[in-house]
Amino acid sequence: MGELKTVPQSKQSQQHLYAPGHSGCPGCGPSNALIQVCDTLGKDIIVVNATGCMEITSSQYPQTAWRVPYIHSLFENAPAVASGIARALKAQGNDHTKVVVIAGDGSTYDIGFGALSGMLERQENVLYVCYDNQLYANTGVQKSGATPYGAATTTTSVGSVHRGKETERKPIAEIIAAHGVKYVASASIAYYADLQMKLNKARAVQGPSFVVIDAPCCLGAGFDGGITYKVAKLNVATRLWFLYEIENGKYKLNFNPANPKPVKEYLELQKRFKHLDAQQIEHIQKWADNEYNELLVKSGQAPGQKPPVAPP
Ligand SMILES: Cc1ncc(C[n+]2csc(CCOP(=O)(O)OP(=O)(O)O)c2C)c(N)n1
């Protein structure tokens, strides 16, 4: 067994704790999420990475993109492994190193959810970060519990009977918050300052905390890797994705798009939505409007309540 090596870096890229040289697609949203997460949280973390694209593309022996301590585990036990590491640190009297799970939506919403739920219920001192690309990328674009209504994947096909995914995605932030988690946040790769604020808050929590990051997959959703940030921004601008926090059960909408764009502008950029008919687009628009109105009420920002907050 040789030593693990990082790939050669330019001086500038050496500043990142998630290094270039990984094999993520050009324009990969999740890889960008990892750069932002590692640079924000700094070196004093231990990453526990569940299976998925971000494991495969970051850590092919003998190379690694991680400049922080890193362990890969399975879907079924990443939160359990993280729990064990957090308890070992506590036993050592280490109260500064943060254990961070990094997992995709397939891992978080579906395959590893049992272990995640147990970790939350036991109130383990772990920060859980989900990079949400809305599908199982690594195994060839199957649907996940995060895949939105209408999207075509290899398991939500499009033909004369079926027209993409027929159900909505799971409300993961609410599901996590229902476990009594003190800090839950929804963020996006396209809003770095907002994400930094959320990661820093989540890191400071004693006990479990959770941040889900919208991180579009150009290959799986079918758009050019040069417009990943445009797609991510439009997800927020159309109100199909929200930047918000649930802190000790209290909702706060961090960015309230003053002039929302029609959902069509987000959908039409992606091949996975090309088949949608007018009725389906109308269904998605209604979903966005309803979610927005509900979030406004929950966060005390509906008309007649408090005024909207300024954009980050
Ligand atoms: C228990 C188990 N089920 C299924 C798989 C196959 N598998 C490997 S990666 C993957 C997709 C993971 O999706 P996600 O967590 O969203 O990460 P992404 O690949 O999108 O980064 C699947 C289904 C597996 N390795 N283990």
Residue of 75, 212, 219 to test ligand 1 pocket, by largest number of atoms within 8 Å of CB: 75
Regarding the beta carbon of 139 and ligand 1, being less than 6 Å apart is answered yes
Regarding the beta carbon of 144 and ligand 1, being less than 6 Å apart is answered yes
pLDDT per residue as tens digits for the range 195-226: 999 999 999 999 999 999 999 999 999 999 99
| pLDDT score, position 312 | 59
Does pLDDT of 8 surpass 70? no
In angstroms, rounded to a whole number, what is the distance separating the alpha carbons of residues 222 and 273?
Answer: 9
Regarding the beta carbon of 104 and ligand 1, being less than 6 Å apart is answered yes
For residue 104, which atom of ligand 1 is closest to its CA? 15
Residue 304: band (very low, low, confident or very high) from pLDDT cuts 50, 70, 90: confident
Q: What is the DSSP letter of 111?
A: I
Does pLDDT of 41 surpass 60? yes
Does pLDDT of 301 surpass 90? no
CA 207 to ligand 1 center in whole angstroms? 27
pLDDT per residue as tens digits for the range 75-110: 999 999 999 999 999 999 999 999 999 999 999 999
Are 251 and 245 a contacting pair, CB within 8 Å?
yes
In angstroms, rounded to a whole number, what is the distance separating the alpha carbons of residues 131 and 242?
Answer: 15
User: What residue spans define the domains of the chain?
Assistant: 13-298
**What is the full DSSP assignment across 18-70?**
B-TT--PPTT-HHHHHHHHHHHHH-SSEEEEE-SSHHHHTT--TTB--BSS-E
CA 111 to ligand 1 center in whole angstroms? 8
In angstroms, rounded to a whole number, what is the distance separating the alpha carbons of residues 42 and 96?
Answer: 12
Query: Does the predicted model carry a pTM greater than 0.75?
Result: yes
Using alpha carbons, select from 49, 52, 223 the residue that is nearest to residue 139. Answer: 52
For residue 146, which atom of ligand 1 is closest to its CA? 16
Residue of 22, 37, 51, 129 to test ligand 1 pocket, by largest number of atoms within 8 Å of CB: 51
CATH number for the domain running over 13-298: 3.40.50.970
Regarding the beta carbon of 136 and ligand 1, being less than 6 Å apart is answered yes
Regarding the beta carbon of 244 and ligand 1, being less than 6 Å apart is answered no
In angstroms, rounded to a whole number, what is the distance separating the alpha carbons of residues 105 and 75?
Answer: 11
Query: Taking residues 65-75, what's their average pLDDT?
Result: 96
CA angle 20, 24, 27 (to 5 degrees): 90
